[in-house]
Chains A and B, each alone.
Chain A
Amino acid sequence: MSQVGKAELYVKKIRNGTVIDHISAGYALDVLKILNVTGKETNTVGVVINVPSKHIGKKDIVKIEGGELKPEDVDKIALISPKATINIIHEYDVVEKKKVSLPRDITGIIKCGNPVCISNSKEPVSSLFHVQEVEPIRLRCHYCNRTMEKKDILKQF
């Protein structure tokens, strides 16, 4: 059994739902925030932090029984964990596996951290960022040219 397979055994398999794998180590709790998981839900949620990974050294994993991710949540996860994979589980089997992907331009999913940026005003315009670096993430606001880093992005979740 591979290291990854062993790591997944830290938490029991789920029957139906989503497994978010290869989350950058230390960011599982932020992924839960993105998914609005508060701990008060009735479904099973499994979290594994800092397990060895063949591909990325160490990683976190989140398993959600009965949960399906919204596309905007996948985009947000891509911002903080560009190597994450989303596995859709049906009857204990992985029926779909996809990598998150970070587009070159990011529209709407986060706000510019610059309070005097025009994209934060009452104008009918969405935020727009150009991805400068993927890991660690660095975005440039299309409008005000200010940089957003991971710590700035995390504040918004």
Chain B
Amino acid sequence: MGLCMSLAGRDIISIRDFTRFDIDHMLSAADQMELQAKSGSDILRGKIMATLFFEPSTRTKLSFESAMYRLGGSCIGFAEPSTASVQKGENLSDTVRVVENYADVLVIRHPLEGASRLAGEVTDVPVVNAGSGSEEHPTQAILDIYTMKREFGHIDGLKVAMVGDLRYGRTVHSLAYALSLYKDVKLCLISPDLLRMRHEVLEDIGRNIDFEEGKDLGKILGEVDVIYMTRIQKERFADLAEYEAIKGSYRLTQADLKHCKKGAIVMHPLPRVDEIDADVDGTIYARYFRQVWYGVLSRMGLLALILGAIT
């Protein structure tokens, strides 16, 4: 494992900052957490995690807090910038330089792209990016590929369809970067024209893996191992008629799944609105709720690694 740098003290800002060895190391750490999650652990006793959420969130914040508590640590933070010093005009740099005195790790969600990168550069404690505008959401990507690893036993060779809003969806950017570190992975990027994957991401992942872009989910449904659905937000469309026209074509129903490859799984970063029909929930394909549990395990592993509780 000489190629794997220790993750103790590292920031988790972008998947682009890590090698495959680092990511594999994070997945192994998540594996180690299964037992500790169920029986409780105190490996992070005395450690404090601060969650600084400048944008609303429920599940990501709760997932991080659950991970921290399950390892014996404590949590402080805010979820509403309106109640925070931000409202008084304080900038992010000052806020994080203050809060790093209160905590051993900072978990930040911010509407501006690059916010966590800046926070990491002005603080000494590790910073975890819990979503920076529509740029990246690296811990979601780690839990996503952890889900694939758990469900298939491997990530190499998987064919993954990402469906929906690939332009503004931060989870798909991070996930594409993460998958591009693995061998023989193929991505099918299915979206309306307006919401195609950012060219920066395509340029980067295209150096390592094959991808194809398209609009029709039905065409590739029988070929892929993973159907990763995302929400298409109405507010992205200037013309509501256009939104109404396309939204149905990015909706997955139980009937569609008859055309699926055997053993395929359906994932979603959640929250969903109507892009996955409720009748899919009970099928053998649905993994999006189990994905949430894997999220807790992978965040436990990450916190334990960056706080030096495990190596």
> A residues engaging B (CB < 8 A)?
114, 116-119, 121-125, 140-147
Contacts and interface: CB of A to CB of B under 8 A. Distances in A.
B117 A142 contact: yes
Nearest to B89: A122
21 contacts: A114-B113, A116-B113, A116-B134, A118-B92, A118-B114, A121-B91, A121-B92, A122-B91, A123-B92, A123-B118, A124-B91, A124-B93, A125-B93, A142-B114, A143-B114, A144-B113, A145-B14, A145-B135, A145-B200, A146-B113, A147-B200
A144 B118 CA distance: 10
Contacts of B117: 118, 142-143
Contacts of A124: 91, 93
B27 interface: no
Given A118-B118, A124-B93, A146 B200 contact: yes
Nearest to A132: B203
B72 interface: no
The binding surface of chain A is classed by DSSP as loop
B111 interface: yes
Given A116-B133, A146-B200, A147-B200, A141 B114 contact: yes
Contacts of A117: 112-114
Q: Give the most central of A119, A144, A146, A147: most B CB within 10 Å.
A: A144
B contact residues, range: 10 to 19
Nearest to B115: A118
B205 to A, nearest CB: 13
B199 A118 contact: no
A144 B135 contact: yes
B16 interface: yes
A14 B245 CA distance: 65
Nearest to A147: B200
A140 B200 contact: yes
Given A123-B118, A124-B91, A144-B135, A118 B200 contact: no
A151 B134 CA distance: 23
Interface in B194-216: 199-200, 203
Contacts of B200: 140, 145-147
Interface in B70-120: 91-93, 110-115, 117-118
B17 to A, nearest CB: 11
A56 B25 CA distance: 50
A118 B118 CA distance: 8
A124 B91 CA distance: 8
A114 B117 CA distance: 15
B135 to A, nearest CB: 6
A143 B91 CA distance: 16
